[in-house]
Amino acid sequence: NISMVEKKKTELYQELGLQARDLRFQHVMSIATRNNRIIMRMEFLKAVITPEFLLILDYRNVSLEHWLLNELASQLAGEGQLVTYSLPFEFRAIEAILQYWISKLQGRLNTLQPQILETLEALVDPKLLSVDRSKLHILLQNGKSLSELETDLKVFKETILEILDEEEVIEELCLSKWTDPQVFEESTSGIDHAEEMELLLENYYRQAEDLLNEARELRVLIDDSESIIFINLDSHRNVMMRLNLQLTMGTFSVSLFGLIGVAFGMNLESSLEEDPRIFWLVTGIMFLGSGLIWRRLLSFLGRHLDPPLPPHVPAVLKKSQPAAGRVEIKTSLKGDTFGLSRSTLTNQ
């Protein structure tokens, strides 16, 4: 049965037998027990669990109507996929809240994952010579959302782990074991409620761990893609620097032999200007000398910037082992430009 009430906080904590500080919910995550009541804080989801009912506070402010009316009632009645229908009410209530929260985290991850993969695929495309700034902006936003998701998953894990490390707290979460004598007798006869509660919390701890591993894989992909992007940018930057250096060397070569033209351009008389062939001879010497100097500088640049050739590998290497098995290794090296090698491994 679902009912909606409006009460002042003073009336509410007096009715529940709690202190005022117990209902001062903040956007934190914690699971605690007070006066045979379970107080759960899942950021915006604030709940108080008793052996008889589940109280969700301020549900209208966070748009929880759909979950409360369509999903929560069936889960508490044992009609959903939850497996705690044979256990007391607080088990079903705790699992319903944990299931809702882990589903929210899973939904956020499912939304981010295709967006991040699509953006990374577009950024590391080798056909693109430049990086799209709009894609980088989208990746920055997705990376920020992924960091927030990782933080929420870590806090969720730590909250559950703190309970798993304290056996007394697990015992206190089993409310019906201490309030209902019949349930207590059943627990002593064969059903260990504390163990069931521990298994319940461990289940959602593992689910949070799996989600966190997927988020970490996405983070590794983002870091690797950033490294690839930086390598591509460095490669383009090196090409531009090399082109600039080549043009600078060409300018130096032309300027060096341009001094001859400067000398003949002075207002000084000599016997050379009277010969009509001197102009073409000096011009040819200038262009030919500039070209030769430029080629020599390019050759010097190539020898110091190009990577060295790989070391020579013998043509055929054979190694055989008798006794139990025989292993033959053959390696052939073709003398092409790239130094490619082909290897064949036969194990008999």
Tell me the pLDDT tens digit for each residue of 74-105. Answer: 778 766 555 555 778 888 899 989 999 999 99
Q: Where are the domains of the chain?
A: 9-237
Which of the pair, 96 or 22, is modelled with greater confidence?
Answer: 96
Mean pLDDT of the chain: 75
Segment 238-247 mean pLDDT: 80
CA distance 265 to 82: 97
Segment 36-65 mean pLDDT: 82
The superfamily CATH assigns to domain 9-237 is: Magnesium transport protein CorA, transmembrane region (1.20.58.340)
Question: What tokens appear for 144 in the block?
Answer: 């920020």
For residues 66 and 27, is the Cβ–Cβ distance under 8 A?
no
Which of the pair, 267 or 332, is modelled with greater confidence?
Answer: 267
Which of the pair, 302 or 309, is modelled with greater confidence?
Answer: 302
Is residue 306 very low, low, confident or very high in pLDDT (cuts 50, 70, 90)?
low
Q: Choose the weakest-confidence range: 85-99, 209-223, 257-271, 334-348.
A: 334-348
| DSSP H or E segment with residue 328 | strand 327-333
Question: In degrees rounded to 5, what are phi and psi of residue 81?
Answer: -90, -5
What pLDDT digit, counting tens, does each position of 200-221 carry?
A: 999 999 999 999 999 999 999 8
